[in-house]
Structure 1
Amino acid sequence: MSTTPLRVGVVGAGNIAHIAQLPTLVARDDVELDVLVSRCEDPSELVRRWGFSTAVRTVEHALERDLDALFVLTPRSEHVAGVRSALEADVDVFCEKPLATATSDAERLADLADEHERVLMVGFNRRFAPTYVAAREEFGDAGAAFCVAQKNRRGSEYRATFENAIHMVDLLRWFCPGEPVDVAAHAAGDDPWQEDGVSALVRFAGGGTGVLTAARTAGAWAEKLDAYGAERSAEVVAPDTVTLTRDGVSTVRSMSPEAFGWATATNTFGFAAAVHHFLDRVRDRGTPLTSGREAARTQALLDDILQTAGLPVKEQEGRTWSSHATR
């Protein structure tokens, strides 16, 4: 593979970019942070802090700079336009999840990536978190027979299940091979746009069964996953521990500072590994684990869960979303 530096552009430098992608990009010797697309009146501080060559106001101006890859880290309502422009300019793209606000748009972007032979990856970082990776490896190609995924929080938000539980839906697809063949779901609360939570039961073509719990009435944030199959068990308490059990013997792995090099959320939640995975695929032209096509399939399953639970699958007219502050 070539060692020529990859010229990278970044769209949006808000909270998620500062926590996850930018620290990883600046640590790579083979990456040149060329251009930042920012709404700031004066982005000079951001340019200096992260070492960009320049800053521009629009994606179109950024794409004039002969980039190898573009990171789209904006609110989800802006993903489609940025990703489409980059793919049409024959630039590889890493996009924060979800790929689009509508599954049909996500599918069209996956098609566009195929047409232009571009690498398109979506930031489903849980598939790269060390604890989840260890749990998934326990079941090999056969996958898990049963998987229970939970992501619970205190207090709801606009389209809470779509915004947060989509990570767990993606993990259910990863742990249980085959596409979903049957979905049952129930939503709690009186407001379909700001629900109290969702539970779902999903049967997959490979024979596995997935259970989703996404409560917004919990006492505190909690994320965990249990998987079972072939007389083996895996229990993840994210992001710090995974317990693997076979033949009645349990092994606990901990992502403590001592065990994981002064671990931070950038590493323990898989953000850094996801960025490295994408850049490696840009170089070797392989298909990312969380490709645009995979992301569209995850979003299609989430749509099935939401529809079955009586929740909307489209954005509320006239309402915008911005959880990760973008600058």
Structure 2
Amino acid sequence: MSALRIGVVGAGNIASIAQLPTLVQRDDVELRALVSRRDDPSALQRRWGFGAVYRSVDEMLAAETLDAVFVLTPRSEHVAAVESALRAGVDVFCEKPLATSAADSVRLAELADEHGRVLMVGLNRRFAPVYVAAREAFGESGASFCVAQKNRAGSEYRATFENAIHMVDLLRWFCGGDVVDVTAAAAGTDQWEEDGTAALVRFSTGNTGVLVAARAAGAWGEKLDAYGQMRSAEVIAPDSVAVTVDGVRTVRSMSPEAFGWATATESFGFADAVRHFLDRVRDRQQPLTSGWEAVKTQQLLDRILAAAGLPTEEQEGRTWSSRATQ
């Protein structure tokens, strides 16, 4: 089996924790190229073994023959990079969100279909062992009720959009079906840096999802509770999951299973998301978190934001960026 020729766009701290450790462990992957804005990316090139470094996506695509590209930049740069790769006939893994607007996400999903390319978005919670175990408890019908929370201290630009998207995606995954109705409320006086959002979502399956994304919490925390079919699942991410069936409670803890060496790369699902994408590049099947799945999640998130009185577009002249993604 020939090695997959991979290009990576953005290799900052997040990529170094989330995707790159898995890629370098694969015998069937060759890290051919890196796109970086750093003045001196030589340390990154040596650390991860990239064959070449470029200043732009178009420069990389013109110089290299690639099978897939990982777009790990700030969200404001996703559309241009993903579009260029798809038009060049290259499969794409893109960090969440796929785009800053749902309309652009739809356009990219359509473009992937047009060019027959695999497009996957890094909604990695669907691959985290604790969430996978919880979801499996409910089978095809899903959970009758699901409460997903991601809370932390301190807000940021478009906080709900940036961080709660994972939990919105989990609500869709656990409850299934189309969205029937959304009600929501936001806290705080700054619509661009809200203090939190809560939402109630009804699905066509009859299942109900609840989102809590508080930015006025005392500490960071992520959890999910799901109920249905006389079953319960309780997730304290990324460490533990308790599933109760017919009165029997089974608890799994990630650290003991990893002999005390559990890492965020594995426990939050980043590693399995990368593996899943590489498998789809080879077998040409649709990923679990395909471009179209990401579109549906972003469209639901937009409905939550609108119902809460929050903007669904970026603030004019303002972008989110971080050296962690460079």
- What's the TM-score, normalizing by structure 1? 0.98
SS of residue matched to 1:33: strand
Which residue number in structure 1 is paired with residue 182 of structure 2?
Answer: 183
Alignment-derived partner of residue 27 in structure 1: 25
Corresponding residue number in structure 1 for 2:159:
160
1:307 paired residue number: 306
How far apart are 1:320 and its partner, in Å? 1.2
- Deviation per residue, 1:224-253 (Å, 9 max, x gap): 000011000000000000000011111100
1:16 and 1:324 in contact (8 A); partners too? no
| Contact 1:109 1:292 (C-alpha < 8 Å) held by counterparts | yes
Aligned partners of 2:267, 2:310: CA distance in 1, in Å?
32
Q: Distance in 1 between matches of 2:305 and 2:209?
A: 15
Partner of 2:98: 99
Partner residue in 1 for 2:257: 259
Shift of 1:326: 2.8
Residue type of the partner of 1:152?
A: N
Contact 1:92 1:120 in 2 (8 A): yes
After superposition, the C-alpha distances for 1:126-176 in whole angstroms (9 at most, x for unaligned) are 000000000000001111110000000001000000000000000000001
Cα deviations across residues 44-100 of structure 1 (Å, max 9, x unaligned)?
111111001010111011112110000000000000000000000010000000000
Indicate which of 8, 14, 21 corresponds to 2:12.
14
Confirm or deny: 8 A CA contact 1:83 1:95 kept in the other structure: yes
Equivalent residues in 2 for 1:192-203, closer than 5 Å = 192-203=191-202
Deviation of 1:117 (Å):
0.6
Q: How many residues are matched? A: 324
Written as runs of structure 1 = structure 2, the 5 A alignment for 1:11-160 is 11-64=9-62, 65-160=64-159
Query: How much does 1:324 deviate?
Result: 5.9
What's the % identity of the aligned pairs?
Answer: 73
Mapped partners of 2:258, 2:285: distance in 1: 28
The one-letter code sitting in structure 2 at the alignment partner of 1:199 is A
Cα separation, 2, equivalents of 1:260 and 1:103: 38
- Aligned mates of 2:229, 2:284 — CA distance in 1: 35
SS across alignment from 1:320: coil
Distance in 1 (CA, whole Å) between partners of 2:111 and 2:188 is: 38
Structure 1 runs of 4+ with >3 Å offset = none
Further displaced range: 56-65 or 227-236: 56-65
SS where residue 125 of structure 2 aligns? helix
SS at match of 1:277: helix
1:325 deviates by: 2.1
Alignment of 1:174 with 2:169, yes or no, is: no
- SS of corresponding position for 1:16: helix
**Contact (CA 8 Å) 1:8, 1:71: kept in 2 or not?**
yes
The alpha-carbon deviation at position 260 of structure 1 amounts to 2.0
Aligned residue for 1:194, secondary structure, equals: coil
Point out where structure 2 has 5 or more consecutive residues left out of the alignment.
Answer: none
Partner amino acid, structure 2, of 1:293: W
SS at match of 1:142: coil
User: What is the root-mean-square deviation in Å for CA atoms of aligned residues?
Assistant: 0.8
Distance 1:173 1:117, change over 3 A: same
